[in-house]
Amino acid sequence: MGQTLATERDERHLFRAIELASEARGHTSPNPLVGAVIVKNGRTIGEGYHTAAGAPHAEREALAACSEDPSGSTLYVSLEPCAHHGRTPPCTEAIIGAHIARVVVASEDPSAKASGRGLGILRDEGIQVDLTGGVCNKQARLINQPFRKHAKTGRPLVVWKAAMTLDGKVATSRGDSKWISGTSSRARAHRWRAECDAVAVGIGTALSDDPQLTARVEGVYRQPRRVVFDAEARLPVNSTLVRSASVETPVTVVCSRAASRTHVTALETAGVEVLMVKGDTEPARVAAGLQELGALEVQSVLLEGGPHLAGAFMDAGEIDEARVFFAPMLAGGARSRGALDGQGVELIDQARRAVTTSVEQIDEDVLISARFTEW
C-alpha cells in the first residue's frame, strides 16, 4: 500500500483529525482513536471523532455534523476507514453513500480485518484515496500504539512507570518509598491509569502495599483492570484488591500451573479472574500472561510493579515505553532498591536504547518518557 506526499493543506486537516481523535483517549478501547474532518471548496463543513466503543465511528460523526451536502468533498481521517461489520456498520458504506470525492488517510489499520481493505473498496468505487507518509503518518500511528501492537502481536502495549531519586533508588533499605514523587506527578500517574486497560503489579507490591490500583482523578470513563502477577496465587482474599473485585473494577491474577488449587478456588469464589499460564521462568510467565490478557482485549498495561516484576518484564522484552519521575533527592545506600532487577545485560552496548525521548518538568520532579518500540 503506497504512500503519497501530503500537501501543506492536507497536513493541516490531518493534524486536526489527529487532534480530534486524541480527545477520546482512554474511552475507545478495544477500538482505536480516530478523528475525521470533511472539507468542501476549501472550507471545513464537518468534524467528528470516535467517542467510545460501540458509538458511531469518526467518519459517520463528521458526516452527521456537516453544515451542507458533503457530495464532492474531501474526507480527512486519521485511520483507514473500516470495511467490516462490528458494533457499527462499515464506514466505507457511509463514505460511498455521501458521494465523497477524495479520502486522505493519515495511517493504515494493521488489523487482519482491515489492512487496506477499506481503501481498496473506496478506490473500486472511483473515490480518490491517498495514504500519507511523513509526520502525519507518524503522529497518527503514535496515538494508537496499543491498538497497533495488539493487532500485530495479540499482546498489549506495556508502559513501565516508576518514581526514583536522582541516584536511581525507588525505595530505601527499609522499603520506604512514600512519597518519592510529588503530588502533581502522582496525579499524572492516576490519569495514566484511567487511560490504560490494565494496571499491573507483582505479588510483593500487593502484599506490602495492599493497593487499590484504581484511577482516582476526575473524569474517569472506566476503571482499569487490576492485574497481579502472582505465581503461587498468594493474594489474600481479604486484601483490598480482592474485596473490591467487581465487573466495573475487575481483578485478574496471573499464576503458574504450580499454584495451589485451594488458593485459586478461593480467589475465583471471591470474584477474581485467575489466568494459569505456562513458563518455567518469570519472564516466560510474563510473556504468557500478556498473551492471555491480550486475548481478553487488554491492549495497554501500565506496569507499576516493583523492581522484581519490572526486571522480569524487561528480561521478557516486554517494556515498550518507560515513564520515569526523577525527584530532586538522594537516597544512597548499597541496600536501597534500584529500579530494575532481573538478569539485565552484561555489556552497555547490549542495553535497550530508546528510539524517542521527551523531558517535562512537573513541579519539582522531572519526567523522562522513553519509547523503545514503535508499532
Q: What are the tens digits of pLDDT across the range 190-243? A: 999 999 999 999 999 999 999 999 999 988 889 999 999 999 999 999 999 999
Q: Provide CATH 3.40.140.10 ranges for the chain.
A: 8-143
How far apart, in whole angstroms, are the C-alpha atoms of residue 55 and residue 57? 6
59 is catalytic: yes
Tell me if residue 21 falls in helix, strand or coil.
helix
**One-character DSSP codes across 50-116:** --STTSPPHHHHHHHT-SS--TT-EEEESSPPP-S-SSS--HHHHHHHTT--EEEESS---STT-TT
- pLDDT value for 2: 63
CB proximity list for 114: less than 8 A, separation 6 or greater? 80, 82, 83, 84, 108
- pLDDT value for 192: 97
Beta strands 365-371 and 321-327 are antiparallel
Q: Provide CATH 3.40.430.10 ranges for the chain.
A: 148-371
Question: CA angle, 293 as apex, 23 and 49 as ends, to 5°?
Answer: 15
CATH of 148-371, one of 3.40.50.300, 3.30.479.10, 3.40.430.10, 1.25.10.10: 3.40.430.10
Q: What are the tens digits of pLDDT across the range 276-309? A: 999 999 999 999 999 999 999 999 999 998 999 9
Alpha helices in the chain (DSSP H): 8-22, 58-64, 91-97, 117-124, 134-142, 145-153, 183-195, 203-209, 240-243, 261-269, 282-295, 307-315
Handedness of CA 44, 72, 144, 356 (dihedral sign): negative
From 11, 59, 80, 318, active-site residue:
59
Task: Name which of 30, 14, 23, 50 is nearest 138 in CA terms.
Answer: 14
Mind listing the pLDDT tens digit of every residue in the chain (375 residues)? 567 767 899 999 999 999 999 999 999 999 999 999 999 999 999 999 999 999 999 999 999 999 999 999 999 999 999 987 777 788 999 999 999 999 999 999 998 887 778 899 999 999 999 999 999 999 999 999 999 999 999 999 999 999 999 999 999 999 888 899 999 999 999 999 999 999 999 999 999 999 999 999 988 889 999 999 999 999 999 999 999 999 889 999 999 999 999 999 999 999 999 999 999 999 999 999 999 999 999 999 999 989 999 999 999 999 999 999 999 999 999 999 999 999 999 999 999 999 999 999 999 999 999 999 999
What pTM does this model have?
0.92
- pLDDT value for 1: 53
Domain 8-143's class? Answer: alpha beta
Handedness of CA 90, 93, 99, 104 (dihedral sign): positive
Phi/psi zone of residue 2: left (φ > 0), alpha (ψ -120 to 50 degrees), beta?
beta
Instruction: Please identify which residue in the block is written with the cell numbers 484515496.
Output: 129
Instruction: Please identify which residue in the block is written with the cell numbers 483492570.
Output: 225
| CB 57, CB 70: distance < 8 Å | no
| CB 224, CB 215: distance < 8 Å | yes
Counting other chains too, the contacts that 247-251 makes at CB distance below 8 Å and 24 or more residues apart are 248/222, 248/223, 249/214, 249/223, 250/225, 250/226, 251/225, 251/226, 251/227
- DSSP annotation of 200 reads E
Give the orientation angle of helix 282-295 with respect to helix 307-315, to 10 degrees.
80
How far apart, in whole angstroms, are the C-alpha atoms of residue 181 and residue 178? 8
HSE (CB half, 13 Å, CA atoms) of 34? 30
* Cα-based torsion angle of the residue sequence 340, 341, 345, 347 in order, rounded to the nearest 10 degrees: 70
